[in-house]
Structure 1
Amino acid sequence: MLMAEAHQAVAFPFLITNEGWDVNVDREVLKLVWRSGLRSWKRQFARFMNNVQNGVYPANLWSLWFFMSIVIIIHYSGYAVPGDLVGTILPCLPGTDLKWQLIGSVLAAVLLWLSVVYLIRYTLKLLFMYKGWMYEARGKSISTKTKAWMALVRLLSSFNRPKLFSLQGSIPKLPLPSLKGTMERYMQSIRPLVDDENYERIQKMATNFEKGIGPKLQRYLVLKSWWSTNYVADWWEEYVYLRARSPLMINSNFYGMDALARHPTKNQAARAASIINACFKFKRMVERQELKPLLIQNSIPLCSSQYERAFNTTRIPGLETDQIVHWKDSNHVVIYHRGRYYKVIVKTNKILNTREIQEQIQQILDDSYKPLPAEEKLGVLTAINRTEWAQIRRSFFNVGVNRNSLDAIEKAAFFVSLDDVPYVPNPEVPEQLNMYGKLLLHGNGYNRWFDKSINVCVSSNGKMGVNCEHSWGDAPIAIQIWEYMVWQEIENRFKENGDAVGEIETTPPPPSRLAWEIKPDVEMKIENAVENAQMLINNLDLHVFAYRQYGKGFIKTCKVSPDAFIQMAIQLAYYRDAGKFSLTYEACMTRLYREGRTETVRPCTVESSSWVKAMENKNTAADERIKLLRIACERHQRNYLDAMCGKGVDRHLFCLYVVSKYLELESPFLQEVLNEPWRLSTSQSPLEQMGFEFKKYPECLGTGGGFGPVDDDGYGVSYIITGENTIFFHISNKKSSKLTDCHRFGKRLREVLNSMQDLFAIHTDTAQQFK
């Protein structure tokens, strides 16, 4: 039987006889080989054409033919082309007859065309460097300068519809802040955190650094900023993510939840099929560059580089540093169910439809194979210390069936977990939401492959979520993919019985179960890893809740930024929880610059602390509290915009620290800065990146996601403003800490938000708006 299968698998079965070679050519297999090669060449040609079109954006190739026609007409009419280019080129050609004059005209047209193209591109790049528009309020107060700038940007961008990476060449580099400016902003940021004595001590250290080795380190950074596309990106990826040795589970990976009010089907196979199909379509849009680049105000582009590694990507463990490996294409996913791993082909000549993928997944659900205990818990190796995982991987997974199976997982487009438990997210039952978040963040420790860029998790009742590795990119990309899934599912992807829509047009390739050879010593390592992972899981506490008293609608009437409003609420809640202020991390994106990722906003400011103290002082009048709140929000918004524009504090100081280590120069100031604990780590989840209007489909609003605490004695706080009347919070902490309790902090936060509403309700101007 095995021999028969082997013979069927080859394209050229042959027999040696006394009459010579008898070769039997299997034409069907040859057709498959031919089609596979044809698809590969089509892909390469499409990528080549995309690169050409991106290289000449904002022009298109049709404009080249127009230029050629004009130049040829001008030349043969007896007039000189501007700059007499044809006359300059002709002496360099073998002849001057009509044929060579035509060739000279074509070359002149190409040169003129390229000159115009790159003039427009670099003009756009210069225009995109201007960030004054960000600091101006929208409406009538916009300056004439900004209006003229916006008109010019829109004019130069209107020649051609951009592809996903078309505008990359026009996005400016991240600017390097001045050393003096960063030092001033840093000292301002720590003022509310330390007493006078410590402030003077740090001030002296900062002054010594600024007058000492600081300028030398800055000069090296200046050289790096000239030479590299982004002076932060590569070092941030390597030293913050890839060199970290802690387990990815809880410490690095983050999760995202499904929409709570929407349950399109309870059929696990159908829902998983719908998600897989949508992800492959999104992946195809990225590969073909059909995805529209994100534009602020429909004009200013955000860097699209992170999309490239969203799929077909795995973080490979190393002894000292990990490596992000991305494959150009992948036609399969790997699905985990009840301890078994299956390779599932999703793209053949085309992407399989949802009904066909459902058929494949149902075969997995119906499979009666029982895995060995070590096989079932194999994924826990991705949840342990990175060096230990690298050693195990190098020793036991580099040959034979283990190598083949590991390749299948690591080269998959993404990883899918079919969980045996239901996700029952009822906002009115906090324990259910908390458990939902925990299941997505860590599962049982071994039913996720934490190294994969994206883990799609589908419960037994059809609810879903994602777990994402962090080094390849940031949460906004994952959220955009989720929004695309929702948009795809809106278009009636399920029948009344819960099955996916459509019919099985061609018999889909059956899932192939991955085989493993696990030796006794590896089994022991897996069992130890399970114990360690369980300790991490047991130590994590998570509180997820929906605040429904108000949302964006009320906050806007307070005439402050919604993000700043919530950050001030978090500051007051933490002060009431801990009795002091804390260094606070808020992530903001720097994708207005090439290869930009994030910068730190420091929400704890002199202004925010003044407002917090006023709220705690019963003798402070409501008008004064509101005044201080608006001042604090304005300061926060200014700091947020500064961080987005490359004038943050932390990335610059981080890079100075890296240079000092390379030069083997010790800096007490940088040591102090880099060792400061982030007791509050916060982040806001964005919405409507796909142009999907949630107002039309409020049931599709997501609940955001969350992450683990950065500090052992700190909180991880994520929030998403879902519409006019709801804010979702995800708060995490470690149970081992005697200082933190996410449930207590959540209670404080709700009380603060209520008191802020009451504050404005008694204020005359705002009260009138609610009568």
Structure 2
Amino acid sequence: MLALVARAAARPCGLLKQTPLNKVVGRFQLHQEALPPLPVPPLQQTLDRYLLALQPIISPEELSHTRELVAEFRKPGGVGERLQKGLERRARKTENWLSDWWLKTAYLEYRLPVVVHSSPGVVLPKQDFLDRQGQLRFAAKLIEGILDFKTMIDNETLPVEYMGGKPLCMNQYYQILSSCRIPGPKRDSIVNYAKGKKQSRHITVVHNFQFFELDVYNSDGSPLTADQLFIQLEKIWNTSLQTNKEPIGILTTNHRNSWAKAYNNLLKDKTNKESVRTIEKSICTVCLDAPMPRVSEDVYKSHVAAQMLHGGGSRLNSGNRWFDKTLQFIVAEDGSCGLVYEHAPSEGPPIVALVDHVVKFTKKAEMDKSPTVHLPMPKKLRFNITPEIKNDIEQAKQNLNIMVEDLDIKIWVFHQFGKGFPKSEKISPDAFIQLALQLAYYRMYGRACATYESASLRMFRLGRTDTIRSTSVHSLNFVQSMDSPDKSDQEKADLLRRATQAHREYTDMAIRGNAIDRHLLGLKLQAIEDLVSMPELFMDTAYAVAMHFNLSTSQVPAKTDCVMCFGPVVPDGYGVCYNPMEEHINFAISAFNSCADTNAARMAHYLEKALLDMRSLLQAAPKSKL
């Protein structure tokens, strides 16, 4: 289950500050070494907080049983203490005691398809072009913007980010370009070609299911201009007019074990192997999609989100992808655009920082026309399709189409207010939105559920994420009071403020390395490594309930008016991502159609009502001294 929650990505404490620095050789390394290591929290503290987190989501009888297990686990000289000492030893020997474990457990050993189940998408504002020329001009400018960002990474002049006055780990920025996931029979791996003599000089372009290698640097090392890129993209477009090719990219949508077998099969042929290696080594992939089917304006963005996450199925654009590639930018002929990224190397914020940079870059006025230089024809990547590979493709198509039908996704813009309103009430916008989610869920189901919100651990070297548990005793007190006739508006407003304050405190605790989820995971993995029998604490039904995140949520703020989206992490759950702008909030809500109890549009309806009711409540009740 823990593998499922990895993809939520958040900047929990508002926007990050950036400090640009001039190039100093090795500056990135010096910056990284100056960051503190991730701490191992005190065992007693985590166990106390674990019991507290269970209170709103399990029965008193279950809690009583778990208290006994915790008491046994925490005994002096007992199993908990032994595992804690093992973790502390690991922390002394490694750069980050968690990062390798997390990468393997949450991503590389996770066997469900990356499509829908792991890889997030980003829906960008619709562009106003309506033809091939516009599509290719925008794609060319977008590639130029990516290369501009890559120059900052290569030169180590990328601005260092700060949160709460503390510098953040920048390592993820150095993993997102020129990298790719490789399927394995039991565990995948990641390759990266960002540095050294084999540094990538090309991107992959996909059109009509056909892949091309496009060198994006001139012979003098300068990146191609938007004009040059446009010429090259036109050549690709004209060469790939026929769509009767087998959609080889569909293979990457399959279950990881099935894809690993098909991958080995594919690579037996020398031509196929060269083509696959070219895709894997590329800086990123740019997908030139066919236009989306026409839909009404109210569902348009939701359809774009589906296109970003899975491509729409085997009959639409899913064959126009290589889902193992870390970054795939998608530009469709009708102006819809965005990206999908393979989650293993990075959380959302570095991706969104790149998106903000690229979108801003696309709006720059054209420079002087570049002199005409003869550019070689982009190389078409060839694949020899044996009957066995064709069979693998057909299987992948069937499996993908089932996933496509199952995903229920709703992109929704809440227009009534943005982050400005909670700020005017001296409440954290993130805490306010999280509490609205708690209220919406409680009204829908009459109970609280385990809720995951991603917290950044980037204050520490190689830090990834921990969990902000948004469901608390305080949030439950508030949501139960909200529709109670026995409570006054003042009492309800006080409970609301107390709950948002509790959320803020948990957030601060999480980003400082003191949350409970990764520590519990570490103790569990330490138990597996030490080959002792699994402690009963981790076999307890309460632990399973705590890790079953019906609400998997993430705040991913961006300067661009966009929204990230991802699938639910459990079959009966919701995936909720949001970008709070000043005057409105962009939401992406996902669920599975195969679950009769969940519905993305219904959740959006309840969430809207919760946000409005909470605003009315605060406006009606005078501010308390809480």
TM over 0.5: yes
Q: 1:727 to 1:602 in 2, by over 3 A?
A: same
| Structure 1 match to 2:548 | 677
Distance 1:369 1:160 in 2: 47
1:741 paired residue among 599, 603, 606:
599
- Cα RMSD of the aligned pairs, angstroms, is 2.4
| Structure 2 match to 1:195 | 59
* Larger RCO, structure (CA 8 Å, separation 6 or more): 2
| Structure 1 match to 2:7 | none
Distance 1:424 1:166 in 2: 52
1:276 and 2:140 equivalent? no
| Structure 2 match to 1:617 | 484
Q: Compute the displacement of 1:587 (Å).
A: 0.2
| Structure 2 match to 1:550 | 417
Alignment of 1:290-689 (within 5 A): 290-296=157-163, 299-327=165-193, 328=195, 329-348=199-218, 349=220, 350-367=222-239, 370-374=242-246, 377-422=247-292, 429-443=297-311, 444=313, 445-493=318-366, 502-664=369-531, 665-672=533-540, 673=543, 676-688=547-559
Distance 1:584 1:295 in 2: 27
Instruction: Tell me the number of residue pairs that the alignment of Structure 1 and Structure 2 aligns.
Output: 589
Mark the structure with the bigger radius of gyration: 1
Q: Compute the displacement of 1:486 (Å).
A: 1.9
Q: Compute the displacement of 1:755 (Å).
A: 0.8
Q: Compute the displacement of 1:163 (Å).
A: 4.4
CA contact (8 A) 1:437 1:544 kept: yes
Distance 1:618 1:423 in 2: 49
Distance 1:288 1:265 in 2: 37
Q: Compute the displacement of 1:417 (Å).
A: 0.8
Alignment partner of 1:303: what SS? coil
Q: 1:423 to 1:166 in 2, by over 3 A?
A: farther
User: Which digits, 9 at most, give the CA deviation of each residue in 1:62-111, with x for residues without a partner?
Assistant: xxxxxxxxxxxxxxxxxxxxxxxxxxxxxxxxxxxxxxxxxxxxxxxxxx
Distance 2:515 2:350 in 1: 22
Alignment partner of 2:552: what SS? strand
| Structure 2 match to 1:750 | 608
The residue type equivalent to 1:684 in the other structure is Q
The residue type equivalent to 2:42 in the other structure is S
Q: 1:338 to 1:275 in 2, by over 3 A?
A: same
User: Which digits, 9 at most, give the CA deviation of each residue in 1:263-309, with x for residues without a partner?
Assistant: 48860101111111111121121011011111236x52100111111
1:727 and 2:585 equivalent? yes
The residue type equivalent to 1:683 in the other structure is S
Q: Compute the displacement of 1:501 (Å).
A: 6.9
CA contact (8 A) 2:23 2:157 kept: no
| Structure 2 match to 1:708 | 567
The structure in which a higher percent of residues are helix is 1
CA contact (8 A) 1:441 1:707 kept: yes
Distance 2:294 2:489 in 1: 42
CA contact (8 A) 1:164 1:293 kept: no
| Structure 2 match to 1:65 | none
Distance 1:398 1:324 in 2: 20
User: Which digits, 9 at most, give the CA deviation of each residue in 1:405-459, with x for residues without a partner?
Assistant: 1111111111111110149898xx3311110100001003322211000011001
Distance 2:621 2:295 in 1: 37
Q: 1:424 to 1:180 in 2, by over 3 A?
A: farther
Question: What are structure 2's unaligned runs of at least 5 residues?
Answer: 1-11
CA contact (8 A) 1:162 1:293 kept: no
Q: Compute the displacement of 1:368 (Å).
A: 5.2
Q: 1:504 to 1:253 in 2, by over 3 A?
A: farther
Query: What TM-score, normalized to structure 2?
Result: 0.90
CA contact (8 A) 2:210 2:245 kept: no
The residue type equivalent to 2:606 in the other structure is R
Alignment of 1:250-269 (within 5 A): 250-260=116-126, 263=128, 267-269=134-136
Q: Compute the displacement of 1:470 (Å).
A: 0.3
User: Which digits, 9 at most, give the CA deviation of each residue in 1:450-507, with x for residues without a partner?
Assistant: 10000110010344201000001111111000011122123214xxxxxx97335422
| Structure 2 match to 1:206 | 70
- Greater shift, 663-672 or 416-425, is seen at 416-425
Alignment partner of 2:361: what SS? helix
Alignment partner of 2:539: what SS? helix
| Structure 2 match to 1:33 | none
CA contact (8 A) 2:129 2:135 kept: no
Q: Compute the displacement of 1:195 (Å).
A: 1.6
The residue type equivalent to 1:440 in the other structure is M
Alignment partner of 2:160: what SS? coil
Identity of aligned residues (%): 29
Distance 1:396 1:552 in 2: 50
Distance 1:258 1:600 in 2: 27
Distance 1:755 1:336 in 2: 47
Query: What TM-score, normalized to structure 1?
Result: 0.74
CA contact (8 A) 1:430 1:544 kept: no
